[in-house]
């Protein structure tokens, strides 16, 4: 079957890229022909961008503060191509994309037998301003094709939709052949607001095994981590003095050197490759992250970890994931809390892996049944 996957714009997010890779990899292993939609996403000039530029200008010219840039660097296509070149290369090598799609109705002409939307926060309005209704297949005109969601996420445990959006989405979801969501709260949101029964399934990255990812970072394909990096792997998206203090506490307790994967300064650099990111987890003795997919890969690689709840990006994702694997005690809600006891506590990886295998079997069955109308 020829399948179309619709997800967030790919390019500058390690977890986003790998979830797209994983779902394609899984479906291709099942014998399907798969394409992921290449679309512009949310990176367009908006009121928020204009407001950012104004604030940066005030800091620089009125408050006389040092700022890295007044205009966001991603506006410049050439700079994007430099900064994210390693990520783009991974996408080109490992993910089959459609041509650039700005009019989603053109997808009807590509001969798909099924459309799948997911994963990431595809059903969160603020992350999909320019393609919100499309994330519910409003553009699909044929009735003889399958439409389903796989691990779609609202990002939060409450509905951010307007009344008009609720009405529109309710009609669109009723045309789906099957609905699955990534968080337990998503099951409730679908039931209570759209009167749809949804299944909770694993994030696509967890459909694959550790060995699948190790194959990507084999010596012939891997650009090595620079010498001198520590084995306390730090993948933190929103850095702050408080988080740095938290990391230092953990480093002192473990007597490990922190390896900050992302730069500590907010400046455009050439971002490391996806395989280098994976290698960071593979080599880590301990992981500290505020990322959903950072947490996922710590679990997949069986690395002891702590996750600092990134509330602005959607904290319910962490609660749902950790509860599934009975790892709620790995969550840090406040940088002021005493984390040393959490660090000392060992993880029962045998139990975690048993849960993972059970959930993987269920999630795989959902996809197979939905595509075969069982």
Please give the full DSSP string across 96-138, using - where no structure is assigned. Answer: -EEEE-SSGGGGGGG--SEEEE-STTTT-GGG-TTSTGGGGTT
Q: What is the pLDDT of residue 336?
A: 73
CA 354, chain centre distance (Å): 24
CA distance 336 to 42: 35
Please write the tens of the pLDDT for every residue from 150-199: 999 998 999 999 999 999 999 999 999 999 999 999 999 999 999 999 99
Q: What is the pLDDT of residue 160?
A: 94
* pLDDT tier, 42 (very low <50, low <70, confident <90, very high otherwise): low
Range from 34-43, 79-88, 175-184 that averages highest in pLDDT: 175-184
Q: Is the pLDDT of residue 364 over 80?
A: yes
Q: What is the pLDDT of residue 220?
A: 52
Contact between 207 and 360 under an 8 Å Cβ cutoff? The reply is: yes
**CA angle centred on 237, ends 180 and 40, rounded to 5°:** 60
Cis peptide leading into residue 23 (ω within 30°): no
Please write the tens of the pLDDT for every residue from 124-141: 998 888 889 999 999 999
SS3 assignment, position 335 = coil
Q: What is the pLDDT of residue 228?
A: 54
Contact between 202 and 151 under an 8 Å Cβ cutoff? The reply is: yes
Please write the tens of the pLDDT for every residue from 94-131: 999 999 999 999 999 999 999 999 888 999 998 888 88
The burial class, CB within 10 Å (0-12 / 13-18 / 19+), for 341 is exposed
Q: What is the pLDDT of residue 238?
A: 86
Please write the tens of the pLDDT for every residue from 204-237: 999 999 999 999 987 655 454 555 567 899 999 8
Q: Which helix (H) or strand (E) holds 265?
A: none
Please write the tens of the pLDDT for every residue from 262-296: 865 555 578 889 999 999 999 999 999 999 999 99
Q: Which of 112, 156, 144 is nearest to 6 (CA)?
A: 112
CA distance 85 to 112: 30
Please write the tens of the pLDDT for every residue from 48-76: 555 666 777 777 777 777 666 665 555 55
Contact between 201 and 150 under an 8 Å Cβ cutoff? The reply is: yes
Query: Under 8 Å CB-to-CB from 143, ≥6 apart: which residues?
Result: none
CA distance 322 to 43: 31
Q: Which of 186, 278, 19 is nearest to 7 (CA)?
A: 19
Q: What is the mean pLDDT of the chain?
A: 88
Q: What is the pLDDT of residue 242?
A: 85
Q: What is the pLDDT of residue 52?
A: 61
Enumerate the H helices of the chain as residue ranges. 14-29, 47-57, 77-83, 85-94, 163-173, 184-194, 210-216, 241-254, 274-283, 292-300, 311-314, 316-324, 340-344, 349-372
Q: What is the pLDDT of residue 63?
A: 75
Domains in the chain and their CATH numbers? 2-44+77-207+358-372 (3.40.50.2000), 219-352 (3.40.50)
Mean pLDDT value of segment 322-339: 89
Q: What is the pLDDT of residue 218?
A: 72
Q: What is the pLDDT of residue 334?
A: 79
Q: Is the pLDDT of residue 46 over 80?
A: no
| % of the chain surpassing 90 pLDDT | 68
Q: What is the pLDDT of residue 320?
A: 93
Mean pLDDT value of segment 6-26: 95
Contact between 270 and 82 under an 8 Å Cβ cutoff? The reply is: yes
Backbone dihedral angles phi then psi of residue 200, each to the nearest 5 degrees: -85, 130
Q: Which of 176, 171, 198, 110 is nearest to 373 (CA)?
A: 176
CA distance 229 to 285: 12
**For the packed helices 292-300 and 14-29, what is the interaxial angle rounded to 10 degrees?**
50
Q: What is the pLDDT of residue 53?
A: 63
Q: What is the pLDDT of residue 333?
A: 86
Q: Which of 12, 44, 37, 234 is nearest to 130 (CA)?
A: 44
Q: What is the pLDDT of residue 70?
A: 60
**Is 373 or 322 the better-scoring residue by pLDDT?**
322
Query: Under 8 Å CB-to-CB from 20, ≥6 apart: which residues?
Result: 5, 7, 10, 36, 95, 204
The burial class, CB within 10 Å (0-12 / 13-18 / 19+), for 43 is middle
* pLDDT tier, 84 (very low <50, low <70, confident <90, very high otherwise): confident
Torsion of CA 266, 272, 274, 277, to 10 degrees: -80
Residue count (the chain): 374
């Amino acid at each position: 079957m020829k399948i179309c996957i619709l997800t967030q714009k790919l390019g500058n997010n390690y977890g986003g890229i790998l979830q797209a890779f994983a779902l394609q990899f899984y479906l291709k292993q099942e014998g399907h022909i798969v394409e992921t939609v290449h679309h512009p996403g949310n990176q367009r000039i908006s009121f928020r961008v204009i407001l950012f530029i104004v604030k940066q200008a005030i800091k620089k010219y009125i408050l006389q503060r040092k700022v890295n840039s007044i205009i966001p660097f991603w506006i410049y296509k050439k700079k994007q191509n430099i900064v994210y070149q390693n990520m783009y290369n991974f996408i080109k090598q490992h993910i089959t994309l459609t041509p650039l799609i700005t009019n989603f109705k053109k997808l009807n002409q590509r001969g798909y037998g099924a459309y799948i939307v997911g994963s990431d926060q595809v059903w969160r309005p603020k992350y999909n301003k320019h393609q919100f209704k499309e994330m519910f297949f409003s553009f699909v005109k044929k009735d003889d094709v399958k439409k389903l969601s796989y691990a779609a996420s609202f990002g939060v445990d409450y509905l951010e939709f307007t009344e008009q959006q609720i009405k529109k989405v309710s009609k669109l979801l009723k045309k789906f052949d099957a609905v699955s969501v990534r968080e337990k709260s998503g099951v409730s949101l679908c039931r209570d607001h759209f009167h749809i029964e949804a299944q909770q399934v694993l994030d696509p990255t967890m459909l694959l095994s550790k060995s699948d990812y190790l194959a990507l970072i084999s010596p012939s394909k891997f650009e090595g981590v620079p010498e001198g990096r520590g084995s306390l792997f730090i993948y933190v998206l929103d850095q702050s003095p408080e988080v740095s203090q938290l990391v230092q506490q953990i480093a002192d307790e473990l007597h490990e050197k922190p390896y900050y994967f992302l730069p500590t300064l907010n400046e455009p650099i050439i971002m490391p490759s996806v395989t280098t990111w994976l290698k960071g987890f593979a080599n880590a003795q301990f992981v500290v992250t505020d990322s959903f997919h950072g947490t996922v890969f710590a679990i997949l690689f069986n690395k002891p970890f702590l996750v600092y709840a990134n509330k602005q990006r959607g904290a319910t994702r962490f609660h749902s994931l950790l509860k599934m694997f009975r790892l709620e005690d790995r969550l840090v809600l406040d940088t002021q809390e005493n984390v040393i006891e959490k660090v000392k506590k060992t993880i029962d990886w045998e139990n975690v892996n048993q849960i993972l295998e059970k959930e993987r079997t269920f999630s795989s069955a959902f996809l197979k049944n939905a595509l075969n109308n069982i």
